[in-house]
Structure 1
Amino acid sequence: MNETNVTPDEAATAVRTILERIEEAAVVDRRVLHAMLAAVLARGHVLLEDVPGTGKTVTARVIAEAMGLEFTRIQFTPDLLPSDVTGSTVYDEHAGEFEFAKGPVFANVVLADEINRAPPKTQAALLEAMEERQVSVDGTTHDLPRPFVVIATQNPIEQEGTFRLPEAQRDRFSVKTSFGYPDVDGEMGLLERRANRRTLSPSVDPAVTPDSVRVLQMLTETVAVDEKVRRYIVELARETRRDGRAEIGVSPRGVQRVFEAARAAATIDGRSYVTPDDVKRLAQPTMAHHIVLTTEATVEGIEGRDVVRDALETVDVPGVAPNSDESDGTNESADADGSSVETEEVSEPLPEAEETALENPADDGV
């Protein structure tokens, strides 16, 4: 075990390798993958809404494989019980005592497939896990693995046999996005991949290890956000609350999720600071699902992203010079040209093999 200092450029290279590995098996718009990886690096969760057959399940599994993370899939059904998700206490006859049998939620990446086909009580079983990274069963708390990410899929609410996710549940997701149907080239590429493999479901080799993901998450926590950019996030949220079509605008928790995702976007791009473009790029996938529309707006076909789009057009974009940010807990020094640069380094013990993967991910067998 050695101490490894990871720079923003090295982090961006590692993320790029992860993206390329995912795209070997899945046909997904790069902007959607960017938003999903931003949620992972921000220690958040992802909600995918789309019609069946668009690749939601495959993409979730491939993301876990590309990051070397343990993956489990929970098929949500109307008869699924909370204990089927979290686990339960069972009696061991041989030992003569009760012991906890872990449920499928004990993994790094948990796919909650078709989450809105289960009743609200079972959906709520994920609440503590998503927010606290732990589950409580029979008065005992059990920690979940780190990193821990829930990727939930749901069919459109108009589909038969679905239950609407409670507001408290939706508020726990950092990002909500959809794939849509691929274009002609995308579907042709899908058939090409299928023709070149002998298995029904695609898979990929890991590009990094779980330790790498933890390092990337730590690096994301050090990304600085200028006060003007913070104010920009707050004003966007407040504008959604003033919109007459919104019964409830973006919550304070939602504001924090935008902040965290914007820092992750900077990490993906190899920067140690957030720009207003990071916020604008992720505004809709991080804000729209936090908005509760009025009945009239719903009847008129208005969506949360419409409210966010109008907020983006209304709120002035701040002018922020690169690295002219608040320290945000990091140390800064002047570069040779007088500009401010970050001097804090993130250290995390990694396996020796992983040092090479982060320094030059392209050499790990791609």
Structure 2
Amino acid sequence: MSANRTVPSLDSAFQSNCQRIFDAVQSVITGKPEAVTSALTVLLAQGHLLLEDVPGVGKTMLAKSLARSVNGSVHRIQFTPDLLPSDVTGVSVYSPQTHEFTFHPGPVFANIVIADEINRANAKTQSALLECMEEQQVTVDSITHRLEQPFMVVATQNPVESEGTFALPEAQRDRFMARLSLGYPQRDAEITILTGRHEFDPLEALQAVVQLADLRHMIEQVKAVTVTERLGAYVVDLGRATREHPQIALGASPRALIQWVRAAKAHAAIHGRDHVLPEDVRSVAEMVLNHRLILTRRAVADGLGASAVIQELVASTPVN
């Protein structure tokens, strides 16, 4: 995770703050440095993160530790089948005294919103996040309310074949910049978890390591990372290749390509560069695309996975 070098447009504080956030989250999420780095990449790219895996592998723990490492407001929403859209966004309540409606903000009004087990709620409630994630605002009774900045949704979900889950619609999945799967920990890491946490919860000891103003400054620095026209064309060629691939029924949308570039810029900045290289684009390709691509029925029947197709596309698409 440590930067290779520091460039003028990325001050020394950027690199040290990245390392502080990484170390803080890593102290809670044992043995998953790649997942921690990917989560940091999404945070700096102003994206939203979907954590998908079986229950009990640390999805919510990663979301909470990332949130606590940044000194911003954090709200957690437990998604359940009976959750209503107004329970997420807020509701206007009539006051008999003033004869007016007063808006009561919901838990989505925070810098980091943890949407826990998002696919346990029905599609109507899931859709309450669509406007929030895309436009950074909530509209209730024709009145628009801006969300706090920066704003990030970190959602966890169990595999769709799990009992009591509702699959996320394509429009919802496309609003997540990246999807990560933590997987089971390595043997040594799991031993550390079992033997070292009987009387000590590392999440409780985790304190904010950067201030909100520092995070905003870091995000602005990531925005300033250079993407040449040649690199932009490379991302477009990769995106078009997903739409033309015979084994893909639904390829990457223009929104996906925009988020792909933003993730590549954050990846470059974390590694000490003020410009995007093809390796940055390739490094974030799978986490940006794996939840967006829908394979054909025949490809699924043949046992082909999205990861294999993404690797093939990245390997076969040249940088012109």
Q: TM (normalized to structure 1)? A: 0.82
* Partner SS, residue 54 of structure 1: coil
- How many angstroms apart in 2 are the aligned matches of 1:164 and 1:266? 33
* Alpha-carbon offset, residue 192 of structure 1: 4.4
Task: Say whether the 8 Å CA contact 1:73–1:112 is kept in structure 2.
Answer: yes
> Following superposition, which runs of at least 4 residues in structure 1 exceed 4 angstroms of deviation?
93-96
Of the candidates 45, 50, 68, which is equivalent to residue 48 of structure 2? 45
* Alpha-carbon offset, residue 97 of structure 1: 2.9
- How many angstroms apart in 1 are the aligned matches of 2:189 and 2:131? 38
Is 1:34 matched with 2:33? no
Task: Say whether the 8 Å CA contact 1:58–1:202 is kept in structure 2.
Answer: no
Task: Say whether the 8 Å CA contact 1:9–1:271 is kept in structure 2.
Answer: no
* Alpha-carbon offset, residue 226 of structure 1: 2.1
Figure out how many residues of one structure are paired with residues of the other and give that number: 313
- How many angstroms apart in 1 are the aligned matches of 2:56 and 2:231? 38
- How many angstroms apart in 1 are the aligned matches of 2:16 and 2:252? 33
Deviations 1:3-27 (A, max 9, x none): xx97344312210111001111222
Describe the shift of the 1:55–1:203 C-alpha distance in structure 2 as closer, same or farther (beyond 3 A).
farther
- How many angstroms apart in 2 are the aligned matches of 1:245 and 1:49? 23
Of the candidates 139, 144, 150, which is equivalent to residue 142 of structure 2? 139
Is 1:83 matched with 2:81? no
Match of 2:314 in 1: 312
- How many angstroms apart in 1 are the aligned matches of 2:236 and 2:89? 35
Task: Say whether the 8 Å CA contact 1:25–1:203 is kept in structure 2.
Answer: no
Describe the shift of the 1:209–1:50 C-alpha distance in structure 2 as closer, same or farther (beyond 3 A).
same
Task: Say whether the 8 Å CA contact 1:25–1:202 is kept in structure 2.
Answer: no
- How many angstroms apart in 1 are the aligned matches of 2:313 and 2:69? 36
- How many angstroms apart in 2 are the aligned matches of 1:21 and 1:229? 33
Is 1:7 matched with 2:3? no
Of the candidates 212, 218, 225, which is equivalent to residue 227 of structure 2? 225
- How many angstroms apart in 2 are the aligned matches of 1:17 and 1:158? 37
Is 1:189 matched with 2:170? no
- How many angstroms apart in 2 are the aligned matches of 1:44 and 1:54? 23
* Alpha-carbon offset, residue 60 of structure 1: 0.5
Q: Please list every run of 5 or more consecutive structure 2 residues that lacks an aligned counterpart in the other structure.
A: 1-7
* Alpha-carbon offset, residue 161 of structure 1: 1.4
* Partner SS, residue 51 of structure 1: coil
Q: Please list every run of 5 or more consecutive structure 1 residues that lacks an aligned counterpart in the other structure.
A: 319-366
Is 1:67 matched with 2:70? yes
Match of 1:329 in 2: none
* Partner SS, residue 303 of structure 2: coil
Task: Say whether the 8 Å CA contact 1:45–1:175 is kept in structure 2.
Answer: yes
Letter in 1 for 2:248: A
More deviation in 244-253 or 85-94?
85-94
Letter in 2 for 1:226: T
- How many angstroms apart in 1 are the aligned matches of 2:249 and 2:230? 27
Is 1:275 matched with 2:283? no
Letter in 2 for 1:112: A
- How many angstroms apart in 2 are the aligned matches of 1:301 and 1:165? 22
* Alpha-carbon offset, residue 317 of structure 1: 4.5
* Alpha-carbon offset, residue 295 of structure 1: 1.8
**How large is the Cα RMSD of the aligned pairs?**
1.8
Match of 1:294 in 2: 296
- How many angstroms apart in 2 are the aligned matches of 1:219 and 1:142? 27
- How many angstroms apart in 1 are the aligned matches of 2:185 and 2:132? 33
Match of 1:234 in 2: 236
Of the candidates 253, 256, 268, which is equivalent to residue 255 of structure 2? 253
Of the candidates 138, 157, 160, which is equivalent to residue 160 of structure 2? 157
Describe the shift of the 1:135–1:193 C-alpha distance in structure 2 as closer, same or farther (beyond 3 A).
farther
Letter in 2 for 1:287: L
